Amino acid sequence: MQLRITSRKKLTALLCALGLISIVAIYPRQTVNFFYSTAVQITDYIHFYGYRPVKSFAIRIPASYTIHGIDVSRWQERIDWQRVAKMRDNGIRLQFAFIKATEGEKLVDPYFSRNWQLSRENGLLRGAYHYFSPSVAAPVQARLFLQTVDFSQGDFPAVLDVEERGKLSAKELRKRVSQWLKMVEKSTGKKPIIYSGAVFYHTNLAGYFNEYPWWVAHYYQRRPDNDDMA
């Protein structure tokens, strides 16, 4: 009986291994992306517990950092910017805000104008970002962003948020991203910042646009390693 059970376990393990090999052979890129994504999320989740809870902010914050800021959009609705500027906790305060301005072809964040004005009036450094839609021509998106955002001296450079490629290949996506970056840089006189998630960056953008500043997000609040920008 013991021999049969052991043999059955070995057969099951062999079948699982063969199944995994078949999946890797058929979907190599998707499999690599899955395991990389899983590894990043597990590592990020472990690092998350190294962050100190800040009661007045109601989130965990890397206390060893000297500069802290927020990323806002319509999902935060009407923000009390006076209160944001006054938030203090054990020497930690918010010093800047990145504010969503536009998305795709026509979408303008309904709170952008208010957030853009009041964040500056209350002493925060500010930056505006555009969420890139892969299905819309890059010049159309760049024009929408430039028509919406009125940059002033002291503002951060424009930010392009790239998180999806839709039906485009990675090469086609990079071509459109490049068009947006060049148009906005020509108009503003500053190189835009590129925002993306760590996994999306590695699978679609790594090794390109090295002349631009990068903002690579880790959604479980892990401090990025140097390898993230290799």
Distance set, CA 62 to CA 47, 127, 223 (Å):
10, 21, 9
Question: In the annotation, is 163 catalytic?
Answer: yes
Distance set, CA 132 to CA 76, 101, 107, 173, 202 (Å):
20, 11, 11, 10, 17
If you ran DSSP here, which 8-state letter would residue 218 be given?
Answer: -
93 close to 68: Cβ distance less than 8 angstroms: yes
Distance set, CA 196 to CA 93, 121, 201, 214, 215 (Å):
25, 29, 6, 8, 7
If you ran DSSP here, which 8-state letter would residue 76 be given?
Answer: G
The dihedral formed by the CA atoms of 218, 221, 222 and 227, expressed in degrees to the nearest 10: 20
Catalytic residue selected from 163, 164, 172, 211: 163
Nearest alpha carbon to residue 129 among 154, 105, 148: 148
Q: Which residues are catalytic?
A: 163
